[in-house]
A and B are shown apart, each in its own frame.
Chain A
Amino acid sequence: MRWRVSGIGSESWEREGALRMIVLQDICKTFRVAKRQSGLGRAVKAFFSREYELVRALSNVSFAIGDGEMVGYIGPNGAGKSTTIKIMCGILTPDSGACDIDGRTPWRDRLAHVRGIGVVFGQRSQLWWDVPVIDSFELIRDIYRVDEKSFRGALGELTELLDMGELLKTPARSLSLGQRMRCEIAASLLHGPRTLFLDEPTIGLDAVSKIAVRQFIRKLNAERGTTVILTTHDMQDIEALTERILLIGKGRILLDGSLAELKRRCSARKTLVVEYSGSAPEICDGMALSEAKPGRLAVTIDPSELPVSDAIARLAAQTELLDVSVSGATSEEMVASLYREYRI
């Protein structure tokens, strides 16, 4: 997979043998937002005549996703991630552009389209608040006309995988966020969708719940071949789940490529941390000091100027090393540097 900068066109999207599940072509969406200055006087004035500002949420967004692919859709807050997801779900109608998901245009053929997709909005709930979770599930069964046999099958499987046995009889309002999110994900899969949209599914979850959710999604993708589109701010989600990432900023697709390549590109610089006993070693050319404490030294090096082994040898010659660790940039740092690079 090659890196692609937006505007060149989506032809560079290639994956042999895979059918295209989702194709977006030049999708644009503008929102009209009421604006006013602060203050009572302005508020009164705005009561009579509003000033609106057009906010361009998406500009010529194009990409294609193959059947069975798992894609991470990342970008800072307000970049247009949720808007794209809502368009793909048939909730919003774009101003222009084409979108084809499993042969249908979501906003034109909404009722037929939504039968084939599952959606989890991490910040909202689809469970009825005051009744046991199982009641909400049965409502979903009836709404999607899932026959009893496949419903029981899916429910049994999901209950086991997401460890929901105890939760089904509990009203949604009494569940913890982690428990509820597992139920939300199950609710989105009861009708066996071929495509799953996850909009920040791990937001607010503790470490254990996050890992459980990730494992489940990976399994779903591997075993059922469900196409998964995931938006998140948690880079560990992306690292654990997706091969390919799409970076969106200010309403434009900026990058489309594999996580490994992104890493290779961003993390040329290495951080070398040594612990030593004895006199403090001097740093030499090609090293930049990032932390110096008695007994501990951290430097960043560019391996093209100074190979890692040389750097270690130089330090080892000056003092006795107790521990050495070398690390590349973390995903978080990588994405932060990407956001900086594109000024988004």
Chain B
Amino acid sequence: MRRLPHVKEYAAIFRMRFINSLQYRAAALAGVATQFAWGFMEILAFSAFYRASPEAFPMEFSQTVSYIWMQQAFLALFMMWFWENDIAAAIAEGSIAYEMVRPVGLYGRWFCQAAANRLARAALRCAPILAVALLALPEPYRMAPPASAGRLLLFLLSALLSLGVVVAFSMLMYISLFYTLSPLGVRLIVATLSDFLAGATVPLPFFPDPLRAAAELLPFAAMQNMPLRIYSGNIAGAGAWEGIALQIFWLAALLLAGRLLMGRALKRVVAQGG
């Protein structure tokens, strides 16, 4: 099959979803408040442990603080439980019928939609969190600014790849909805497990050794784990580039798998409800 790049179409879908998501200001405010509360709780818990024996920890306290604040600021980019309801509804309730009469591939369309939704939400939420965490908080709870311009660029590259991996992985979950219509089960199990393995609850360096070695090769390690550790300085130099290579590998693998599975699912698609 001949495939033309649909860049302009995808950009339009991206823009539309972005505009649409920017409208939910109340939700964004509530999100900011939650993220502050959550961030403080986590940092206070960690600081209690650190006070007991700082040398027993694989990350310096300042690194952990940066990790947590950046995670809270960009939560919408990285968290697997963050769900694109429009896609789930399209499959479960049948509005996919309209999406299939458009001259755009469904995979690309949904990918853009999900990525745009995450970016819009992160854009609304990150500024107040970053401002407070960088400027207003007292030491040692204050987040450190990026160590260098190079580090910042590396973080941005890794964050972008991480978003790609997260969306490509969640596409697999959306595709599974063609086979099982209720999203709840898949969402709960997969999202919890993958967020844990991505270092959303506890950063990966805190994992016990055999588990940590295994987890660092999984696609989940290519999610928030990588950009947050690069920013906080836990991974630097050659380690960072290795991490980015891992991210590129998983992104390509997940994209390929997603496209294949989507093609299969569409052959047996049943548009629900008359």
Assess whether B103 is in contact with A124, with CB atoms less than 8 Å apart: no
Residues of chain B from 94 to 110 with CB closer than 8 A to chain A in the complex:
94-98, 100-105
Contacting residue for A142 out of B12, B95, B271, CB 8 A:
B12
B270 CB–A CB distance under 8 Å: yes
How many A residues face the partner with a CB closer than 8 A? 31
Which chain A residue lies CB-closest to B95? A124
Assess whether A90 is in contact with B271, with CB atoms less than 8 Å apart: no
Assess whether B16 is in contact with A119, with CB atoms less than 8 Å apart: no
Interface size class, chain B: 20 to 34
Assess whether A145 is in contact with B101, with CB atoms less than 8 Å apart: no
A130 CB–B CB distance under 8 Å: yes
Contacting residue for A131 out of B9, B20, B97, CB 8 A:
B20
One of A61-69, A110-118, A303-311, A315-323 contacting the partner: A110-118
A31 CB–B CB distance under 8 Å: yes
Contacting residue for B19 out of A110, A114, A126, A131, CB 8 A:
A131
Assess whether A86 is in contact with B271, with CB atoms less than 8 Å apart: yes
- Binary contact readout A114-141 vs B (1 if CB under 8 angstroms, 0 otherwise): 1101010101111010110001101100
Q: How far is the CA of A92 from the CA of B274 in the complex (A)?
A: 13
CB distance from A331 to the nearest CB of B (A): 23
Contacts of A90 in B (CB 8 A): 100-101
The A interface is mostly helix, strand or loop, or mixed, namely mixed
Which chain A residue lies CB-closest to B93? A124
Residues of chain B from 37 to 92 with CB closer than 8 A to chain A in the complex:
none
- Binary contact readout B3-43 vs A (1 if CB under 8 angstroms, 0 otherwise): 00000110111001001100100000000000000000000
If A130-B20, A144-B103 touch, whether A119 touches B98 (CB-CB below 8 Å) is yes
Which chain A residue lies CB-closest to B23? A130
Contacting residue for B269 out of A91, A125, A128, CB 8 A:
A91
Contacts of A138 in B (CB 8 A): 12
A143 CB–B CB distance under 8 Å: yes
Q: How far is the CA of A131 from the CA of B86 in the complex (A)?
A: 14
If A91-B271, A112-B103, A114-B103 touch, whether A86 touches B23 (CB-CB below 8 Å) is no
Q: How far is the CA of A111 from the CA of B4 in the complex (A)?
A: 11
Assess whether B102 is in contact with A114, with CB atoms less than 8 Å apart: yes
Q: How far is the CA of A136 from the CA of B273 in the complex (A)?
A: 24
Q: How far is the CA of A31 from the CA of B269 in the complex (A)?
A: 10
Q: How far is the CA of A126 from the CA of B95 in the complex (A)?
A: 8
Q: How far is the CA of A144 from the CA of B11 in the complex (A)?
A: 13
Contacts of B274 in A (CB 8 A): 82, 123
A89 CB–B CB distance under 8 Å: yes
Q: Give the interface centre of B20, B267, B268 by most chain A CB atoms within 10 Å.
A: B20
Which chain A residue lies CB-closest to B100? A91
Known interface pairs A91-B271, A131-B20, A145-B9; 11 further A-B residue pairs with C-beta atoms within 8 A, sorted by A's residue number: A31-B270, A91-B269, A92-B270, A110-B100, A112-B103, A114-B101, A115-B103, A125-B95, A138-B12, A144-B102, A144-B103
Can you list 5 A-B contacts (CB < 8 A)?
Answer: A92-B270, A92-B271, A111-B103, A125-B95, A130-B20
In the A-B complex, list the 9 residue pairs whose CB atoms are closest, starting with the nearest.
A142-B12, A126-B98, A91-B100, A139-B16, A119-B101, A114-B101, A115-B103, A111-B103, A143-B9
